[in-house]
Structure 1
Amino acid sequence: MKKNTYGNIEDLVVNITTVTPQGTMQRAANVPRAALGPDMNNAMMGSEGIFGVHTLVTLRLREFPTVQVYDSLIFPSLEHGLAALKEITRAGCEPASLRLLDNTQFQLGQALKTSSTTNKFTAGVIDFAKKTYVTKIRGFDVDEMCAATVLLEGTSQQKVAEQQKRIQTIAKRHEGMVGGEENGKRGYFFTYIIAYLRDFALDYYFMSESFETCVSWTNARQLITDIKLAINSVAAKRNVKIPPLIACRISQVYDTGVCVYVYYGINYFRVNEPMTLFRETELAAVDAIVRNGGALSHHHGVGKHRLAWLPAAISPPAIAAIQGIKSALDPTNVFAVTNLQPNKHVEN
């Protein structure tokens, strides 16, 4: 969640000990970098359980941040927000965490927020004033605007303040406005409550799921549009009476692209074969991802749902290479989970 400062998991792992049917595999020394042929640490991290059991991991440690600042930015549209995030990233001033919530997720977060004051009248007046400024004076459309959450961390108050100022300056060039610390903190922790909403809603015939992908800056906006169209199309064909709830956010930023995280929910009351509806929705969403040049996964992995697309995503020789490592480390198929092996998996 803070990869801009600390890196992704592959940047943090120094060494992995993996117990396989053919013996224990690990590097002899814990060094920051090694040119020792293909990186088996990465191979083990992405193995999805087919090679062995990881029993020990050595990680890089960083100095604990003494300064932590939350902030938020509001943009008139997703396009403005994407352009701002791209410039922030290219300028090299991206904070520990930088996320962009689309209008649906932004409105959902606003609907779930609690008042910062116990006086309901005062809270109502403040919210009205804020909304009036944003919509009437700044001219933002409540059905188009989106928000970014910002988390800055470091060991120098001055450097963090300078970084925050650079981010805010770039945001304003893209018609953004500063939303403040409270909204930034609320938006950041919104991630943690999603699972509880899912479980609660399931009791009311509302099934939901999340998935993620990684795509270039150029294709990000169209990918989001196509995913929403795909999910809505399946729902319409299956006679779902209430339009699905589909929310997207830019979860991670890179020089060349972004991680797009999608939440969707569908009311399946009086829908025949809801599990088939779920599977058809999944297939349509992945097809939309592939059409727009997105990765099958940014960090969740391939698993069973996306296995059919794997040969096209990484090439048949890569599938053969994975199977070759599998045969060498686990010739009798002790770890028979069939992940990453399209020719071994049988759909239930």
Structure 2
Amino acid sequence: MDQIVAVTLVFEGQRKSGESQEKLIYDIAVKYGGLKGGSKNGAKGYALTFVVAYIRDFGWDINLIAESFETSVSWDKCLSMCNNVKSCVTRECNRHGITRLVVSYRVAQTYDDGCCVYFYLVARHEDDRVSPAKTVKMIEERAREEILASGGTLSHHHGVGKKRSKWYPASVSQVGVSVLKAIKRELDPKNIFAVGNLIDDSVISKL
């Protein structure tokens, strides 16, 4: 076996339908050599999210930097998008002198017509002349452009915000931006909330 993957599943709905789905999935897994890991591994994986920040700080001390970003995409474009983005990130890292890196991705949530995909980057930098955080930001921006070019979206659930606002007009059209501006003018005429977020309004209200 050259490669293995781990899949975490959540069965929703009534008990009877959930048990039926669970049996069906595990039967398929056994047929293709899969192993049932049980629920404890999923719980441990979730617990890991509470220590991620501490791992980040430890990594920073030894010149490791990590980032994750997500998108949503239709099923027919999922695999090609993942391959394109992985190649793009690797290429951009090399361009910035980063040769020791790991790029991976996973399908985090599934729907009838598409899925949410997370990308992960872990890289080792050598006392970069530019701030490592700025370098990773530039790499992520190129990755986002590749995501959009490959049929992905600006975001699945992290939102657009200031970080991805420059791609917003192209994603929703100028008409879409105008609609958002009109809604904001009606609901927030003094421009108090989310100032300069998606809409670059020059008028900033002071509380």
Give the counterpart letter for 2:114 in structure 1: G
Q: TM-score, normalised by structure 1?
A: 0.52
Rounded Cα–Cα distance in structure 2 between residues aligned with 1:337 and 1:160: 45
Q: Work out the percentage of aligned pairs sharing the same amino acid.
A: 36
Deviation at 1:189, TM superposition (A): 4.2
- The amino acid of 1:314's aligned partner reads V
Work out whether 1:213 is the aligned partner of 2:71.
yes
What letter corresponds to residue 253 of structure 1 in structure 2? T
CA pair 164-336 structure 1, distance change in 2 beyond 3 A: closer
Please give the secondary structure, in 1, of the residue aligned with 2:196.
coil
Out of 1, 16, 34, the residue aligned to residue 177 of structure 1 is 34
Give the letter aligned to residue 126 of structure 2.
F
> What is the count of residue pairs matched by the alignment?
200
Q: 2:98 aligns with which of 240, 255, 260?
A: 240
Change (3 A) 1:251 1:329: same
* 2:198 alignment partner in structure 1: 340
Residues 234 and 188 (structure 1), Cα distance of their counterparts in 2 relative to 1, 3 Å cut: same
Partner of 2:58: 200
One-letter identity of the residue aligned with 1:263: Y
User: What amino acid is the match of 1:266?
Assistant: A
Larger RCO, structure (CA 8 Å, separation 6 or more):
1
Alignment partners' CA distance in 2, 1:237 and 1:221: 24
CA RMSD of aligned residues (A): 2.3
Q: Secondary structure at the match of 1:207?
A: strand
CA distance in structure 2 between the partners assigned to 1:329 and 1:207 by the alignment: 40
Unaligned runs of 5+ in 1: 1-139
Q: Check whether the contact 1:240–1:271 (CA below 8 A) recurs between aligned residues.
A: no
Number of the residue aligned with 1:152: 11
Q: Distance in 1 between matches of 2:55 and 2:110?
A: 26
For the residues of structure 2 that align with 1:327 and 1:154, how far apart are their CA atoms?
Answer: 41
Alignment of 1:21-40 (within 5 A): none
Matches within 5 A, 1:63-102: none
Specify which of 269, 280, 287 is matched with residue 145 of structure 2: 287
CA contact (8 A) 1:249 1:262 kept: yes
The CA distance in 1 between the partners of 2:86 and 2:109, in whole Å, is 20
The residue number in structure 1 matching 2:82 is: 224
> Offset of 1:184 from its aligned partner?
4.1
CA 1:217–1:342 in structure 2 vs 1: closer, same or farther (change >3 Å)? farther
Distance in 2 between the 1:339 and 1:231 partners? 26
Q: What SS does the aligned partner of 1:302 have?
A: coil
Whole-Å separation in 2 of the counterparts to 1:188 and 1:151? 13
1:166-224 Cα offsets, whole Å, 9 max, x none, are: 11233456x35123214444445444443332232122222222111000111111211
One-letter identity of the residue aligned with 2:116:
C
- For 2:33 and 2:198, how far apart are their aligned partners in 1? 43
* Alpha-carbon offset, residue 245 of structure 1: 2.1
| Structure richer in strand, relative to its length | 1
Partner of residue 115 from structure 2, selected from 234, 258, 261: 258
Structure 2, unpaired ranges of 5+ = 203-207
- Work out which of the residue numbers 277, 292, 300 in structure 1 matches 2:158: 300
TM-aligned CA distance change 1:336 to 1:190, over 3 Å: closer
